[in-house]
Structure 1
Amino acid sequence: MSDQLPPSVTNENDVTVRYWAAARAAAGIAEERVAAVNLADLLDEISRRHGHRDRFDDVIEICSILVGETPVGAKEPSQVALPPGVNVEFLPPFAGG
């Protein structure tokens, strides 16, 4: 059984996860849906799905994370609520601006 939901299947707690640049390369995909109510749950689930891939956890660890348009910064992941349907973006450091 696939870890990723087909496009026609939804869950009330689904959020859209988008990976950019090195995070996309590390995950092997650009976007996926994940059922999670807070950022800690989401981080656990994407690590479960992709942690076996070379460098995935290392790249995710250095990413800036946006929930909607709001940067997470140094907030405790378990305290960052994820409203259903929100976009969560993983942005690794970019060179060159």
Structure 2
Amino acid sequence: MASGTVRYWAAAKDAAGVAEEPFEAETLGELIRRISGNPELERVLRRSSFLVNGAPAGTRDPGTIRLPEGAVVEVLPPFAGG
């Protein structure tokens, strides 16, 4: 099982109540399930995109994206404007 840091941005940060936290998970899908504990954060996660060590997860199945040891996963909800 890999350990690393998940960083929350904008609405995800508000919903999580923290800017970042440690995690243990093998895949991005497992990590998403583990952090989906509160309904507000779960709602934000469904609309968010994810970066794993700076690389976009894109439309790939999160269950197929393996997380390396020490990974930084960033949760990016949709941003207004642009």
Q: CA deviation at 1:76?
A: 0.8
Correspondence for 2:25 among 30, 36, 53:
36
Letter in 2 for 1:26: A
- Report the number of matched residues: 82
Consecutive unaligned residues in structure 1, runs of 5 or more = 1-11
Shift of 1:34: 0.5
**SS of equivalent to 2:51:** strand
Deviating beyond 2 angstroms after TM superposition, the runs of 4 or more aligned structure 1 residues are none
| CA deviation profile, 1:55-97 (whole Å, cap 9, x unmatched) | 2101011011001111111111111010010100000111122
CA distance in 1, matches of 2:76, 2:11: 8
CA distance in 1, matches of 2:49, 2:81: 16
Instruction: Give the residue type in structure 2 aligned to 1:91.
Output: L
Aligned equivalents of 2:32, 2:14: Cα separation in 1: 17
Which TM-score applies when normalising by structure 2? 0.92
1:62 aligns with 2:47: yes
State how far apart, in whole Å, the 1-side matches of 2:62 and 2:53 are: 15
Give percent identity, aligned residues only: 48
Q: Which consecutive unaligned segments of at least 5 residues does structure 2 have?
A: none
Taking only aligned residues, the RMSD between alpha carbons, in angstroms, comes to 1.2
Q: Which structure: greater strand fraction?
A: 2
Question: Which of these two proteins has the greater Rg computed from alpha carbons?
Answer: 1
Aligned residue type for 2:70: G
Q: SS in structure 2 opposite 1:55?
A: helix
Q: For the residues of structure 2 that align with 1:76 and 1:95, how far apart are their CA atoms?
A: 25
Aligned to 2:64: 79
What's the TM-score, normalizing by structure 1?
0.79
